[in-house]
Amino acid sequence: MDPSFLFRSAKYVNLEAISLILSFMLVSKLMDVSGFFSKVSAWILSVEGRKRVFLILLASELVAAVLMNDTALFLLVPLVVTLHRMTGRDPSDMLVLVTIGANVGSALTPFGNPQNIIIWSHFHLPLDSILRVTIPFFALSTVLLILFSSILPDAGEKPARIVSIRLDPIPAVSAALLLTVNPVLASYGHYLVGVAVTVLSSLLVRREAIRGIDVPLLAIFVLLFMDFGQLSHILGSMGVVPPLEGVTALASSALLSQVISNVPATITLLNHTADWRSLLIGVNLRGTGLVVGSMANFITLRMADLKLDRFHRISVPYFLASMALFLLLAWIRVYP
């Protein structure tokens, strides 16, 4: 490796995005140690039939919207596997739908996934501006996901009896407050203040949350910025990638994500388009389709030992359907 690479590429690291990712990692750990997720899981297991399927999908979306898609999958994949083991059903299809749900849900908020954080911080977008784009995407994608969930047989099993789970209010309330404070501070450009407040709060409330920081993952994001920021600069200087907008930006970002994954695609295309709306939609279509489209997909495959062909049997048709829908909306200039 060129020894000067680290120095030349350091300027491409988006410290604002890294700060936000670190902040929400800590918020996720605080909510986890509070027992909040266990409480929600117990409630879902107390419901029977088709309602349980819808609740699990909704939970995967909402948890991902607040605490990122990988966190949602770490929590819900074991839940789905355990539930289906209890009922003697094959969990494969439900696991794929939950993974799609986590990817869809993470698109709802500017902090739901790394690519949203990167776009949010790079273009310095007001919170309401980004939500006006993500809410329709979330709503339409959820309707499509519910239609795809109809392939599952009706889960007619009875509700499970769950032992009462205690919610620790201090870390739960702290996490809720930090979820409010961080987006507000980020909207005013005070990213480092946000991460400082989050780290200090975590130390005061639950120190084990600090130990839950995924340092290797943070390092991966830093290297991704360096590698693909450099690549974007090279492509720009060579004139390989023309300025992208509208349908072209949406299709290019979605398809590139299928090849090199969503975060690298986002970093590569950031400086080749001013149409952040189409870029945002394109890289968020990515989580469905080929497994490489999102790193979160590998969590499901690894944790549940899910076969690749079983995953693609649902994820690829869903991607093609959602891609066709949003390309049509972009082509007729209805959305985004």
Q: Biggest alpha carbon distance in the chain?
A: 63
Query: How does DSSP assign 193-258, residue by residue?
Result: HHHHHHHHHHHHH-THHHHT--HHHHHHHHHHHHHHHHHHHHHHHHT-S--B-HHHHHHHHHHHHH
Element (H, E) at 294: none
Is residue 263 within 8 Å of residue 217, measured between CB atoms?
no
Round to whole Å and give the CA distance between 290 and 292. Answer: 5
- 141-181 confidence digits (pLDDT tens): 999 999 988 876 654 455 555 556 678 889 889 988 988 88
pLDDT at position 33, please? 82
pLDDT at position 155, please? 46
- 178-215 confidence digits (pLDDT tens): 888 887 887 787 888 988 999 999 999 888 888 777 77
Q: Is 275 left (phi over 0), alpha (psi -120 to 50) or beta?
A: beta
Nearest residue to 108 via CA among 140, 134, 144 = 134
Round to whole Å and give the CA distance between 183 and 129. Answer: 13
> How is the chain split into domains, by residue range?
5-331
Round to whole Å and give the CA distance between 149 and 54. Answer: 8
The tokens describing 229, both together, are 């920021």
Listed as ranges, residues in the chain with pLDDT below 50 are: 1, 155-156
Round to whole Å and give the CA distance between 182 and 199. Answer: 12
Helices (H) and strands (E) in the chain, counts: 17, 0
Neighbour tally for 279: CB within 10 Å: 29
Q: Model's pTM, two decimal places?
A: 0.74
